[in-house]
Amino acid sequence: MRLAFLGPPGSGKGTQARELSRKRGVAHISTGDLLREEINTGSGLGRRAREFVEAGVLVPDEIVLHILSVGLKKADSSGGFVLDGFPRTVPQARALDDLLSASPLEVVVCFRISEEALLERLAGRRTCSNCGANFHMRFAPPKRVATCDQCGGRLTRRDDDQEAAIQRRLEVYREAAEPLTGYYRGRGVLREVNAAAPPSEVGKSVLRAIGEADLS
């Protein structure tokens, strides 16, 4: 299974990629998560990436491609992978084609949802500062306020989930989305799902889009 999930910030790519990874054992490779991990290590690469991530703009390709190729190598032994948040531009899609060479992406799923719904999702998202688990104050609330259900870590709002960075991330997405979806539509691998439904419904749409049976 070689998949990529595309979609605007907050459309649920990470939520669905994690669920698919849990159910099917495929590796979940999120360039956003990998960048945040790199930033937290305080490495030179992380320090360079930080200003871009916090401003809500794309991190330069040389950095993202480096962390992506490390992620793909680690995923080698799994039964495939789902890329979450990569590629975001046509040049990134071409670079991915080169990296994957003989084994290209089989399906690219694009998450469709209104901007109004995205803003509510991003405003209510809380992330565990210890294990990275995701919650939503309205749609997926933790059992105890500001505390992770899985590890007891502290829940915080992502630095780039502040108003100015959210607006910038949406603009960045709008600029690149059509050429990118056009690229994959032209190759016959693009599938679109309604991402505005509840998570379990979106999950079923994703399984249909990738041609997998719903075993749950």
Residues recognised as catalytic? 13, 88, 125, 158, 169
133 touching ligand AP5, by CB under 6 A? no
Least CB distance to ligand AP5 at residue 50 (A): 10
The residue among 77 and 99 lying less far from ligand AP5, judged by its C-beta, is 99
35 touching ligand AP5, by CB under 6 A? yes
Give the amino acid at 172. V
* Region binding ligand AP5 by CB under 6 A among candidate stretches 8-16, 144-152, 181-189, 208-216: 8-16
132 touching ligand AP5, by CB under 6 A? no
Least CB distance to ligand AP5 at residue 191 (A): 16
- The footprint of ligand AP5 on this chain (CB under 6 A) covers a number of residues equal to 35
How many C-beta neighbours within 10 Å does residue 195 have? Answer: 28
Least CB distance to ligand AP5 at residue 215 (A): 20
205 touching ligand AP5, by CB under 6 A? no
Least CB distance to ligand AP5 at residue 95 (A): 10
Give the amino acid at 74. K
| Angle, helix 90-100 to helix 163-186, in steps of 10 degrees | 60
Order of strands across the sheet that contains 125-128: 134-136, 125-128, 155-156
Separation of alpha carbons 199 and 63, rounded Å: 32
Separation of alpha carbons 110 and 112, rounded Å: 6
Which of positions 72-111 make contact with ligand AP5 (CB under 6 A)? 85-88, 92
Least CB distance to ligand AP5 at residue 36 (A): 7
List the Cα angle 189/193/199 in 5-degree steps: 135
Exposure letters 139-161 (e unless 16+ CB within 10 A, then b): eeebeeeeebeeeebebeebebb
Choose which of 3, 4, 6, 11 interacts with ligand AP5 (CB under 6 A): 11
Q: CB-side exposure of 140: number of CA atoms within 13 Å? A: 18
Q: Where are the alpha helices (DSSP H) in the chain?
A: 13-24, 31-41, 44-55, 61-74, 90-100, 115-124, 163-186, 199-209
* Region binding ligand AP5 by CB under 6 A among candidate stretches 70-78, 147-155, 198-206, 208-216: 198-206
Which residues contribute to the site for ligand AP5 (CB under 6 A)?
Answer: 7, 9-15, 30-32, 35, 52-53, 56-59, 64, 85-88, 92, 121, 125, 134, 136, 139-140, 160, 169, 198-199, 202
